[in-house]
Amino acid sequence: MRTFIQILSPLVTLLLIASSVRAQTATAPQPAPPQTSTPANDKVEDLTQTTLTSPPPTTPAANPSPAAPAAPTPATPSLAPTGAGAPTAASATMSPLPPGPTTQSSEKPDCSTDRIREGFHMRVVSGPAFVSLAGDGPRGHVSLSGLDSVATITLGGSVARGVVLAGTLQAASLTAKFKGGPFVGESVTSNGQTLAASSKAMADVSELGLLVDWYPNPSAGWHAGLSGGLGITSIVNQADDSTMFGTGLAGSLFGGYDWAIGRSWSMGLGLVASGSTPATIKDKDGNNAGYRLHSFSLGLGASILYF
């Protein structure tokens, strides 16, 4: 199990880095398309802003004098060039404006906002944890406790909207002094020299079982769940590398938040509390070693999720 944690820890780190680079690339601003303009028509004038006026009416004189010359009629100013292509005044006021140039956005839609929590589910978790084993032994009360690491992998799928059922393998590791253990206050002889025996031991607490994870809002990141199954406890004494192990029942409660980095990928952060029932510890030959231990761990894990 310690090898399992050592493999998962760098794997999660690499996946988180790769996911962050992918998210930054996906969200980089796209260059705006070049503006296009409609070429001006040299043969047509824009008459939409021209005010049309009529010449003032002329009133004939009551007693026209034959000797007086007629007053010249003022010419109406030309509104547009004449010719086959020239617009009339009616067409200038009635024709709608030509539509302006249209542009299409080249930005890709953000697919992470419309994702749904269903289908295949895979999560890999690694992080620090407080691990404790305690119980009874041939010399009385025994315990191991301290800060170390926890790792988890889950594989499964959705069984309802926002609900996941998956298999899980979780392991918490610890190296600490085995208080009340078999080598406390003992000595060993090696190459003709007698030395004080190491009282430290490496302990692994594992859980192999089923997990239920629930997303109250399937399109959001909050989730919580529980797991249960077989608990396996193993202890390796550093004094002589002797191994002891035991089995019992184990379970976990967990919760956290997942930040979307794509339609199906997320990065998460959560808490997990695990424990196991007292297990009878046996030696490598299957004989009762005289210890009965239960375990507890509380971890903070970073995860990469495909769901």
Write the DSSP string, the chain: -HHHHHHHHHHHHHHHHHHHHHHHHHTSPPPPPPP--PPP-TT----TTPPP-PPPPPPPPSS--TTSPPPPPPPPPP-S--STTPPPHHHHHHSPPPPPP-----PPP-GGGG----SEEEEEEEEEEEEEEEEEETTEEEEEEEEEEEEEEEEEEEEETTEEEEEEEEEEEEEEE-BT-TTTT-EEEETTEEEEPP-EEEEEEEEEEEEEEE-SSTTSSEEEEEEEEEEEEEEEETTT--EEEEEEEEEEEEEEEEEESSSSEEEEEEEEEEEEEEEEEEETTS-EEEEEEEEEEEEEEEEEEE-
pLDDT of 38 = 46
Count Cβ neighbours within 10 Å for each residue of 75-90 and write b for 16 or more, e otherwise. eeeebbeeeeeebeee
What percent of the chain has pLDDT above 70?
Answer: 62
How far is C-alpha 16 from the geometric centre of its chain's CA atoms? Answer: 9
pLDDT tens by residue, 36-53: 444 444 444 444 454 455
pLDDT at 23 exceeding the cut of 60: no
Kindly indicate the confidence band of residue 282, based on its pLDDT and cuts at 50, 70 and 90.
very high
What percent of the chain has pLDDT above 90?
Answer: 50
pLDDT of 182 = 87
pLDDT greater at residue 115 or residue 192: 192
104 residue type, one letter: Q
Q: Report if pTM > 0.75.
A: no
Q: Which domains are present in the chain?
A: 121-179+199-306 (2.40.160.20)
d(CA 153, CA 302): 12
Q: Provide mean pLDDT across the span 290-295.
A: 95
Nearest to 17 by CA among 306, 302, 307: 302
Q: Which of 83-87, 127-131, 138-142 has the lowest mean pLDDT?
A: 83-87
pLDDT greater at residue 240 or residue 116: 240
pLDDT of 67 = 45
Q: How many CA atoms lie within 13 A of 11 on its CB side?
A: 16
pLDDT of 117 = 75
pLDDT of 55 = 52
pLDDT tens by residue, 102-119: 444 445 444 444 567 789
pLDDT at 122 exceeding the cut of 50: yes
300 residue type, one letter: L
Nearest to 254 by CA among 172, 174, 176: 172
d(CA 190, CA 206): 34
Kindly indicate the confidence band of residue 5, based on its pLDDT and cuts at 50, 70 and 90.
low
Burial of 206 (0-12, 13-18, 19+ CB in 10 A): buried
